Amino acid sequence: MMEENNTIKISVDTLGSETSIANIIKGLNNSFLRNDNYFFRLYGSTNAISNELKNYNDLKKNVEIIDCDEMVKMTDKPSDVIKSKKDSSMYRSIESIKETDSKAVLSCGNTGALMALSLLNLKTLDTIKRPAIASIWPNTYGESVVLDLGANIKSDSQYLVDNAILGTSLASILLKIKNPSVGLLNIGKEESKGNDTLQKTSQELIDLNDRGLINYYGFIEGSDISNGVTNVVITDGFTGNIALKTAEGTARMIKTFLKNSLNSSIISRLGAYLASFALNSLRDKLDPRVHNCGIFVGLKAPVIKCHGASDHIGITYAADLIYMLIKDDVNAKIMKNIEKQHSN
- Do 159 and 45 have their domain in common? no
Q: Note the pLDDT of residue 186.
A: 95
Across the range 218-227, mean pLDDT stands at: 93
Residue 28 in domain: yes
Q: What is the CATH number for 291?
A: 3.40.718.10
pLDDT in tens, 173-213: 999 999 999 999 999 999 888 899 999 999 999 999 999 99
- Do 50 and 141 have their domain in common? no
Q: Report how far residue 294's alpha carbon sits from residue 14's, in angstroms, rounded to the nearest whole number.
A: 17
On average, the pLDDT of the chain sits at 89
Q: Note the pLDDT of residue 160.
A: 95
For residue 5, pLDDT over 80 is answered with no
Q: Note the pLDDT of residue 46.
A: 96
Residue 344 in domain: no
The more confident residue out of 264 and 8 is 8
For residue 282, pLDDT over 70 is answered with no
Supply the range of the domain harboring residue 143: 129-297
Respond yes or no on whether the N-terminal peptide bond of residue 148 is cis (omega within 30° of 0).
Answer: yes
CA 343 from centre of chain = 29
- Do 158 and 117 have their domain in common? no
Q: Note the pLDDT of residue 273.
A: 60
Give the torsion sign (CA, 69, 325, 208, 191): negative
The more confident residue out of 148 and 272 is 148
pLDDT in tens, 298-340: 999 999 999 888 889 999 999 999 999 999 999 998 888 888 7
Q: Report how far residue 136's alpha carbon sits from residue 143's, in angstroms, rounded to the nearest whole number.
A: 6
Percent of the chain with pLDDT over 70: 92
- Do 1 and 102 have their domain in common? yes
pLDDT in tens, 45-72: 999 999 999 999 999 999 999 999 899 9
Residue 341 in domain: no
- Do 72 and 90 have their domain in common? yes
Residue 262 in domain: yes
Residue 292 in domain: yes
Across the range 218-241, mean pLDDT stands at: 94
How many CB atoms neighbour CB 85 within 10 A?
A: 20
Are 28 and 311 in contact by the 8 Å Cβ rule? The answer is no
pLDDT in tens, 245-281: 888 777 777 777 777 777 777 777 766 666 666 556 6
264 SS3 class = coil
pLDDT band at 140 (very low <50, low <70, confident <90, very high): confident
Residue 17 in domain: yes
Across the range 66-91, mean pLDDT stands at: 94
List all residues 6 or more positions away from 307 whose beta carbon is below 8 Å from its beta carbon. Answer: 108, 288, 292, 293, 314
For residue 80, pLDDT over 90 is answered with yes
Across the range 85-110, mean pLDDT stands at: 95
Q: Note the pLDDT of residue 4.
A: 52
For residue 290, pLDDT over 80 is answered with no
Residue 333 in domain: no
Q: Note the pLDDT of residue 249.
A: 79
- Do 114 and 138 have their domain in common? no
What is residue 194's DSSP assignment?
S
Amino acid at 29: N
- Do 204 and 142 have their domain in common? yes
- Do 7 and 66 have their domain in common? yes
Angle, helix 276-286 to helix 266-274, in steps of 10 degrees: 80
- Do 147 and 225 have their domain in common? yes
Q: Note the pLDDT of residue 272.
A: 61
Are 116 and 72 in contact by the 8 Å Cβ rule? The answer is no
The more confident residue out of 313 and 341 is 313
Q: Note the pLDDT of residue 339.
A: 82
pTM here is 0.87
- Do 149 and 281 have their domain in common? yes
Q: Note the pLDDT of residue 275.
A: 62
- Do 135 and 93 have their domain in common? no
Angle, helix 157-174 to helix 330-343, in steps of 10 degrees: 130
Are 70 and 93 in contact by the 8 Å Cβ rule? The answer is no
Q: Note the pLDDT of residue 2.
A: 41
Across the range 222-242, mean pLDDT stands at: 93
Residue 334 in domain: no
Q: Note the pLDDT of residue 341.
A: 74
Highest mean pLDDT (candidates 27-31, 138-142, 149-153): 27-31
Q: How many domains does the chain have?
A: 2
- Do 115 and 232 have their domain in common? no
